[in-house]
Amino acid sequence: MSDLETFRTETRAWLEENCPKEMRDGAGGEENICWGGKEWVFQSDAQKTWLDRMAAKGWTVPAWPKEYGGGGLSKEEVKTLKSEMRAMKARSPLESFGIWMLAPALLKYGTHEQKAHFLPPIARGEIRWCQGYSEPNAGSDLASLQCKCEDQGDHWLVNGQKVWTSYADKSDWIFVLVRTDPSATKHNGISFILVDMNAPGVSTKPIKLISGKSPFCETFFDDVKVPKEYGSDISAVVGDINRGWDVAKYLLTHEREMISAGGGGLLGSRGLGEVAAQKVGVKDGKLADPVLRSKIAQAEIDGWAFLLTLERMKDEAKAGQGVGANSSMLKYYGTEFNKRRFELMMDAGGSDELEWEGARTDDGKLARGWLRTKANSIEGGTSEVQLNIIAKRILDLPGA
């Protein structure tokens, strides 16, 4: 037996023994996610048990090095673990902005001391992070951000406002893009700084969205004192001072890839045609609404081709080919496709799905989801910004 096969057998046995039955329902919706953090209220004992057991093994973040709380697994082993978890419909034990966003930045730009201090609590689900990027006057033009961060000798002084900070009201820490040199050109005076949400002067206010939900906040910084170091050699700033835009750009690319992959991932669940057939009915083996049928079939073609493109881009990257800026193409296409997909599900759902409250629609679950997708092509860089990037970096068009 190869090493990988041994690993698979052992992993299967371990999961079988340690994954609680309640965590094997394949539930993946946002409402079932375990986010962790100081204020996290576990939805069940099983959710806590599952997190603790996986964290102890380093498998909440299996690819990270062991010394930072990860599992130290190879790419092939991570794939094996994921496929075994899928096979038993195991839920993910932990998801968070710490894992998705901060950790990639720390792993690439952080010092050993920063990694050793900040990563293990993320892996264990003890600290929940949020992202402070956009400002009221810095959206698509993110680099024009104005949140001020002054060097006061023994500490930094932060003043300003962030917006669209996801779950800031439920988070323990925030990673923030701040302006440390107002005299430099706009991309050159930005730093990437880590701030405790409990620090005096930090406050949040949820933003109610058209979906009726409030996943985002405004976050205010009023004379917030941030220590230069959180312990010996543990700087509050990630990467070099005034070079935070490099970190931000790296994370934005990463975020784009995640958003587009997420858009594709949704496809895997159930086909649009299947959902529509259930709602609109079938006549002579065909969807009873012929115009909707044709639109859905066209969308399924694009969805399938998009999934294959995600796969191809991954394979190209592995083979050392491909274009980095293609993440913009995937973000653009994936988010626009997801919006189209939800429009079609609303079309198929008809008036029944318009019930905003009540058990019949699970309080308008689809309608709220449909409204949520409208942000897909805005957050992480709008579709128009992605098209600009494709025109400039891939097509090499002039003056873009």
Provide the annotated active-site residues: 255
* Amino acid found at 290: P
Q: Binding to another protein by residue 271, rule CB under 8 A?
A: yes
Regarding 296 and contact with another protein (CB under 8 A), the answer is yes
The minimum distance between CB 80 and another protein, in angstroms, equals: 18
The residue among 148 and 279 lying less far from another protein, judged by its C-beta, is 279
d(CA 134, CA 140): 8
Applying CB under 8 A, what is the total number of residues that bind another protein?
46
For another protein, the closer of residues 15 and 348 by Cβ is 348
Residue 171, both tokens: 């988070």
Name the one range near another protein by CB under 8 A: 141-149, 221-229, 363-371, 386-394: 386-394
- The nearest distance, CB 286 to another protein, in angstroms, is 7
Helical (H) or strand (E) element with 207:
strand 202-207
Selected from 305, 324, 363, 365, the binder of another protein by CB under 8 A is 305
Q: Residue 105 belongs to what H/E stretch?
A: helix 103-109
In contact, 296 and 287? CB cutoff 8 Å: yes
Q: Which is nearer to another protein, 29 or 399 (CB)?
A: 399
Window contacting another protein (CB under 8 A); options: 173-181, 189-197, 310-318, 370-378: 310-318
Nearer to another protein, 114 or 253 (CB): 253
Instruction: With beta carbons less than 8 A apart as the criterion, state whether 195 and 150 touch.
Output: no
The count of other CB atoms within 10 Å of the CB of residue 52 is 15
Nearer to another protein, 238 or 259 (CB): 259
Identity of the residue numbered 58: G
Q: Tell me the C-alpha distance between 158 and 224, whole Å.
A: 5
Alpha carbons within 13 A on the beta-carbon side of 234 = 14
- Please pick, from the candidates 141, 297, 357, 362, the single residue that binds another protein as defined by CB under 8 A: 297
* Stretch of 22-30, 39-47, 89-97, 300-308 contacting another protein, by CB under 8 A: 300-308
Closest separation in Å from C-beta 352 to another protein: 19
Considering the rule CB under 8 A, would residue 300 count as an interface residue with another protein?
yes
- Cβ 283 to another protein, closest distance in Å? 10
Residues 160 and 146 sit within 8 Å (Cβ to Cβ)? yes
Can you tell me the distance from the alpha carbon of 338 to that of 335, in angstroms, rounded to the nearest whole number?
5
Choices 62-70, 100-108, 115-123, 303-311 (CB under 8 A): range interacting with another protein: 303-311
Smallest distance from another protein to CB 299, Å: 10
C-alpha of 302 from chain center: 23
| Interaction between residue 141 and another protein (CB under 8 A) | no
100 in Cβ contact with 258 (< 8 Å)? yes
Q: Is 336 left (phi over 0), alpha (psi -120 to 50) or beta?
A: alpha
Site residues for another protein, window 332-371 (CB under 8 A)? 332-333
Q: Which stretch binds another protein (CB under 8 A): 85-93, 157-165, 273-281, 350-358?
A: 273-281
| Cα 61 from Cα 46, distance rounded (Å) | 19
Instruction: Find the binder of another protein among 153, 268, 285, 358 (CB under 8 A).
Output: 285
Residue 184 has what DSSP assignment?
Answer: S
* Burial annotation 115-142 (CB, 10 A radius, 16+ → b, else e): bbbbbbbbbbbebbbbbbbbbeebbeeb
β-pairing, 286-287 vs 190-196, is: unpaired
Residue choice 27, 56, 88, 397 for contact with another protein (CB under 8 A): 397
Cβ nearer to another protein, comparing 180 with 260: 260
CB 136 within 8 A of CB 161: yes
- Sole binder of another protein in the list 74, 111, 242, 388 (CB under 8 A): 388
Residue numbers 317-336 binding another protein by CB under 8 A: 318-319, 321, 326, 329, 332-333
How many CA atoms lie within 13 Å of 210's alpha carbon, on the beta-carbon side? Answer: 8
Judged by beta carbon, residue 60 or residue 327, the one nearer another protein is: 327
- Interface residues toward another protein, by CB under 8 A: 271, 273-274, 276-277, 282, 285-287, 293-294, 296-298, 300-302, 304-306, 308-309, 311-312, 315-316, 318-319, 321, 326, 329, 332-333, 384, 386-388, 390-391, 394-400
